């Protein structure tokens, strides 16, 4: 962490704070296509990134934007794009491509009206790749995660994702924009700069990694095996999670992102009333913090999964919870009538009711 | 007929497409009767080459290197 | 014409050995690291050669990045001694945009076939051109998806037989071809557009000049440049290799007229 003076507290919209965090992280290229609630991030960077010496393009499609970011990143620059839902779906090809040709970039997924866990963690591209995905619960965490993602992208030479939502993008919060240092990174000895033409040492960024006739590369078989092994190794070292009150809890509530913020609040209330409830929050959606979840649910007789969808993260909870029979789904699809944000299920009293309904008659004992 | 140029021809690179024959303005190329090691006929150069480079321009396979004789002063 | 029996093997010497006293006027580009494995009579290696020669002649070999799409020419990545990003089908102009914005002093080009640019990537090339990105797109147009076995593309001419139009492209059923270079030439943001052929020696020379003009336009910051190159694909066209150039001229040049479709307005052409 830096030893500089503490930055001032500034009132900022979440999307703007994320944009400023990207600039702090040295992002020099951004391309995006308007799509709510991601749009404010594009608008902020359209103004702020050129002022910081970078390039922001309002591209003509999501496919173009993510491929522009890939091209920019192939030169060694820190590059990013973003969208949500359908737009992220369009970007799957290029995200897989970047994973397979080992090009770092950050994808800002400011999701819209449900928690698109499957899309973020399973992806829709081809090949044995995974996408490191961080799901901040609030804007201050998003500022940290944005910078961490640029670091992790460069460290692992892979595209990464920030998973956000309308609350994250649109809430105005007091934030401190502090530049974070996550440690040394390997040099980008793979970046294209055009200077090696005719030397026999010219470089390629290529999913098939065949190399040159005079200097063959590993080829698709060995290269893709290496990529799969790389993600298996990342799985072991980049899991992140947070939990509270789980040691003696007989009920643990699992949630991520903004939903987890609500759960944290409700669980604190229930604890104060004597219920032995705890919460567990995956911070990395991938790699999913399975071992930590297993530990946190060790004594739980009820593992309540609260997510705003038809049940997606619950698949990973089923894989790792200490007692699979203890798992119950207390979330659901809940969409605002406009289609553009969450519906009535994202509400502390509603969450409280659902948790209480899952507790045994007469709780607390 | 004056021969102002010549070629080196690599028979092993040729794939027998014959584009050089059609391109040659003085028409001094014919295809061999022998086959190269992968089974293609390759061009044979006759007298009258002008070193114009048309053959090497159209050749997809880098069969030719083209040379010109120094011009004699008489 | 002397008969084969008197001069069976003409004045042939081993390649690479310059006959004493002779001036070499044409030989293989040193930027080529090996031989390609494309079909006999394919026009794409000719286009590659004149592209690499142009980079050398302009003296920009050590500040060039290429973005290569997917097609038979994709294998050129292995034999081009320049920095290359091999990208997704159709997306090369977008990747080139990102590269050029980050490295504005580097000459950036795309190498794409008609399936890549005009089918999958029509949106990308039009938007990149309209945005006036200072990159040069090279289109290898043979009217088929060669790498996947010869299916119809958006540039297949009416009447041409392909694997997906075996009786010949029928406008009523398969629609009409798209002359993308003409579309691009109509956009503001464009510095130069030319269309050439590699079917004849003269065509090769004129096309090489177009490539040079396109890069000069890029280096002068005039906007997007495109050189469409008609390339023979005898395999895809069901003709023999020697028939390729004539078939190409008779079937494609009427739909795709050759010449400078958008000359440079600044500087010399």
The CA distances from residue C36 to B19, C88, C99, C136, in Å, are: 17, 21, 27, 23
Choose, out of A30, A66, A71, A90, the residue to mutate when testing the contact with C (most C CBs < 10 Å). A71
Q: What angle do CA C6, C8, C10 make, to 5 degrees?
A: 100
Token match 């303005």: residue?
Answer: B25
Q: What is the pTM for the complete model shown?
A: 0.94
State the pLDDT at residue C5: 29
The CA distances from residue C229 to A165, C47, C260, in Å, are: 47, 7, 12
Show the 3-state SS of chain C: CCCCCCCCCCCCCCCCCCCCCCEEEECCCCCECCCCCCCCCCCHHHHHHHHHHHHHHHCCHHHEEEEECCCHHHHHHHCECCEEEECCCCCHHHHHHHHHHHCCCCEEEEEEEHHHHHHHCHHHHHHHHHCCCCCEEEEEECCEECCCCCEECCCCCCCCCECCECCCCCHHHHCCCCCHHHHHHCCCCEEEEEEEECCCHHHHHHHHHHHHHHHHHHHCCCCEEEEEEECCCHHHHCCCHHHHHHHHHHHHCCCCCCEEEECCCCCCC
Domains of chain C and any CATH numbers: 32-262 (3.40.50.970)
Chain B residues with CB under 8 Å of C14 CB are 8
What would the mean pLDDT of A264-274 be, rounded to a whole number? 97
- The answer to whether the CB atoms of B53 and C25 lie below 8 A apart is yes
pLDDT top residue among C4 and A338: A338
Chain C residues with CB under 8 Å of A204 CB are 77, 83-86
* CA–CA gap between residue B43 and residue A327 (Å, rounded): 77
Low-confidence ranges of chain B (pLDDT < 70): 1, 72-74
What would the mean pLDDT of A74-93 be, rounded to a whole number? 97
Residue pair A101/A225 in contact (Cβ under 8 Å)? The answer is: no
If you average pLDDT over every residue of chain A, what do you get?
96
- CA dihedral over C191, A60, A29, C51, signed as positive or negative: negative
CA distance A145 to chain C (A): 24
Binning pLDDT at 50, 70 and 90, where does residue C7 land? very low
Binning pLDDT at 50, 70 and 90, where does residue A338 land? very high
State the pLDDT at residue A224: 97
Q: What is the pLDDT of residues C175-224, one digit of tens each?
A: 999 999 999 999 999 999 999 999 999 999 999 999 999 999 999 999 99
- The answer to whether the CB atoms of A204 and C77 lie below 8 A apart is yes
In chain A, what is the greatest distance between 2 CA atoms, to the nearest angstrom?
79
Q: What is the pLDDT of residues A126-152, one digit of tens each?
A: 999 999 999 999 999 999 999 999 999
pLDDT greater than 70 at residue C49: yes
ipTM attached to this prediction: 0.95
- The answer to whether the CB atoms of C41 and B70 lie below 8 A apart is no
pLDDT greater than 80 at residue C26: no
- Chain C and chain B touch, per 3+ beta carbon pairs within 8 A: yes
What would the mean pLDDT of A47-67 be, rounded to a whole number? 98
pLDDT greater than 50 at residue A178: yes
Domains of chain A and any CATH numbers: 10-175 (3.40.50.970), 241-358 (3.40.50.920)
State the pLDDT at residue A66: 98
Token match 């080992």: residue?
Answer: A102
State the pLDDT at residue A345: 97
- The answer to whether the CB atoms of C102 and A55 lie below 8 A apart is yes
Compute the half-sphere exposure of residue A260: CA atoms within 13 Å on the CB side of its CA: 27
Q: What is the pLDDT of residues C115-173, one digit of tens each?
A: 999 999 999 999 999 999 999 999 999 999 999 999 999 999 999 999 999 999 999 99
N- to C-terminal Cα separation, chain A: 45
Other Cβ atoms within 10 Å of C217 Cβ, number: 27
State the pLDDT at residue A365: 64
Q: What is the pLDDT of residues A183-193, one digit of tens each?
A: 999 999 999 99
């Amino acid at each position: 962490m830096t030893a500089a003076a503490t930055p001032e507290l500034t009132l900022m919209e979440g999307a703007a704070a994320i944009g400023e965090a990207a600039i702090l992280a040295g992002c020099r290229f951004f391309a995006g296509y308007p799509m709510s609630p991601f749009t404010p991030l594009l608008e902020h960077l359209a103004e702020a990134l050129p002022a910081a010496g970078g390039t922001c393009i309002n591209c003509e499609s999501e496919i173009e934007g993510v491929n522009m970011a890939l091209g920019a990143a192939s030169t060694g620059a820190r590059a990013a794009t973003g969208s949500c839902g359908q737009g992220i779906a369009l970007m799957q090809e290029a995200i897989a491509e970047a994973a397979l040709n080992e090009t770092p970039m950050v994808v800002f997924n400011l999701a819209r009206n449900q928690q698109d866990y499957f899309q973020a963690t399973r992806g829709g591209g081809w090949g044995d790749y995974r996408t490191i995905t961080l799901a901040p619960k609030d804007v201050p965490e998003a500022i940290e995660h944005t910078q961490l993602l640029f670091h992790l992208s460069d460290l692992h030479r892979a595209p990464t994702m920030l998973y956000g939502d309308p609350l994250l993008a649109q809430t105005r919060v007091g934030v401190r924009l502090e530049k974070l240092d996550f440690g040394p990174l390997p040099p980008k000895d793979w970046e294209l700069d055009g200077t090696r033409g005719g030397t026999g040492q010219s470089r390629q960024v290529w999913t098939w990694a065949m190399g040159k006739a005079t200097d063959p590369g590993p080829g698709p078989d060995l290269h893709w095996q290496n990529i799969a092994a790389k993600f298996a190794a990342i799985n072991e070292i980049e899991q992140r999670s947070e939990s509270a009150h789980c040691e003696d809890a007989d009920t643990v509530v699992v949630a991520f992102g903004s939903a987890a913020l609500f759960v944290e609040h409700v669980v604190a209330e229930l604890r104060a009333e004597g219920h032995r409830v705890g919460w567990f929050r995956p911070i990395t959606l991938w790699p999913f913090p399975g071992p930590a979840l297993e530990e946190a649910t060790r004594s739980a007789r009820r593992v309540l999964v609260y997510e705003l969808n038809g049940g997606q993260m619950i698949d990973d909870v089923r894989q790792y919870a200490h007692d699979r029979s203890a798992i119950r789904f207390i979330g659901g699809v809940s969409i605002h009538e406009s289609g553009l944000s969450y519906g009535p299920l994202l509400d502390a009293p509603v969450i409280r009711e659902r948790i209480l309904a899952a507790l045994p008659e007469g709780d607390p004992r | 007929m004056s021969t102002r140029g010549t070629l080196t021809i690599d028979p092993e690179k040729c794939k027998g497409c014959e584009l050089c024959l059609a391109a040659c303005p003085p028409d001094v190329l014919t295809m061999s009767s022998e086959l190269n090691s992968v089974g293609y006929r390759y061009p044979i150069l006759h007298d009258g080459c002008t070193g114009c480079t048309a053959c090497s321009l159209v050749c997809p396979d880098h069969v030719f290197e083209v040379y010109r004789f120094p011009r004699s002063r008489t | 014409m002397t008969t084969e029996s008197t001069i069976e093997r003409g004045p042939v010497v081993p390649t690479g050995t310059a006959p004493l006293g002779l001036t070499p006027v044409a030989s293989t580009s040193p930027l080529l690291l090996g031989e390609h494995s494309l079909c006999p009579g394919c026009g794409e290696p000719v286009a590659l050669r004149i592209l690499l020669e142009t980079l050398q002649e302009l003296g920009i070999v050590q500040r060039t990045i290429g973005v290569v799409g997917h097609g038979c020419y994709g294998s050129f990545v292995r034999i081009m001694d320049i920095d290359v990003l091999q990208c997704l089908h159709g997306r090369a102009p977008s990747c080139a945009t990102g590269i050029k914005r980050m490295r504005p002093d580097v000459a950036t080009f795309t190498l794409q076939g008609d399936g890549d640019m005009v089918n999958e990537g029509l949106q990308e090339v039009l938007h990149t051109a309209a945005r006036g990105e200072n990159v040069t797109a090279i289109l290898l147009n043979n009217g088929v998806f060669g790498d996947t076995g010869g299916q119809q593309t958006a540039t297949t001419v009416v009447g041409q037989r392909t694997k997906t139009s075996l009786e010949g492209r029928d406008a009523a059923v398969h629609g009409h071809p798209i002359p993308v270079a003409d579309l691009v030439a109509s956009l503001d943001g464009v510095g130069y557009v030319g269309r050439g052929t590699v079917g004849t020696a003269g065509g090769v020379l004129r096309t090489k000049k177009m490539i040079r003009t396109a890069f000069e336009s890029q280096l002068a910051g005039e906007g997007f440049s495109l050189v469409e190159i008609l390339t023979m694909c005898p395999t895809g066209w069901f003709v023999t290799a020697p028939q390729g150039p004539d078939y190409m001229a008779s079937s494609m040049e009427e739909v795709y007229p050759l010449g400078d479709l958008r000359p440079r307005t600044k500087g010399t052409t």
